[in-house]
Amino acid sequence: MLNFTELYAMQKSLDEKIEKQHGLENKKLIQERILALYVEIGELANETRCFKFWSTKPASDREKILEEYVDGLHFILSLGLTFSYEVEQLSEQQQRNDVSLTSLFNTLYETLAKFDKEKTKSNYINLFENFLIIGQKLTFSNEEIIGAYIEKNKVNIVRQRTGY
């Protein structure tokens, strides 16, 4: 089971650095973070190419897809911090083999729209769970997700330091 406590701490530190760097201290940036998450989910779907019935081009490699996945995770954690909805753990989601990756993306967008409409903790958890289901469908292990998150978090810190 994934434990998010450490990841929220890393996200908090990163978000504070970004806000300071851009003179946005204590701004909640809710609409920006929500739109950023929509975009990251779209970028992830694009790399998997799961919905591109018109194309025979293969999906991007696993590493690239994992990188996009953890970009989305950054914004989910960030939204949790914004609303003080940090969740320590979420139980393993039941995976249904008959549901396509494309459907899972569409459901994830629905849960994000629901959260945007009504920013309750249960809608946040539902969003997070549906995000994790996509990770499972993509066969990412907890270790891979944590490792890639830590890597990208570091990259993000360096980018701020070097004026990204």
Contacting residues toward ligand DUT, per CB under 6 A: 14-15, 18, 71, 74-75, 78, 152, 156
SS3 label, residue 86? coil
Least CB distance to ligand DUT at residue 51 (A): 20
- Tokens representing 153 are 């978090």
Beta bridge partners, 3, equal 89
Residue 29 vs 125, nearer CB to ligand DUT: 29
Q: Where are the beta strands (DSSP E) in 11-81?
A: none
For residue 11 the two structure tokens come to 């996200």
DSSP-derived secondary structure for 115-135: HHHS--HHHHHHHHHHHHHHH
Is the Cβ of residue 75 or residue 115 nearer to ligand DUT in the bound state?
75
CB of 77 to ligand DUT, least distance (A): 8
Q: Please report the beta strands in the chain, taking only residues with DSSP state E, as ranges in sequence order.
A: none
Q: In the bound complex, what is the minimum distance in angstroms from residue 117's beta carbon to ligand DUT?
A: 22
CA distance 115 to 123: 5
User: Which one, 15 or 128, has the nearer CB to ligand DUT?
Assistant: 15
Map residue 88 onto helix, strand or coil. coil
CB of 100 to ligand DUT, least distance (A): 25
Closest CB to ligand DUT belongs to which residue? 74
> Of 91 and 162, which has the nearer Cβ to ligand DUT?
162
**Measured in whole angstroms, how far is the alpha carbon of residue 16 from the centre of its chain?**
18
Nearer Cβ to ligand DUT, position 62 or 96?
62
Give least dist CB 102 to ligand DUT, A: 22
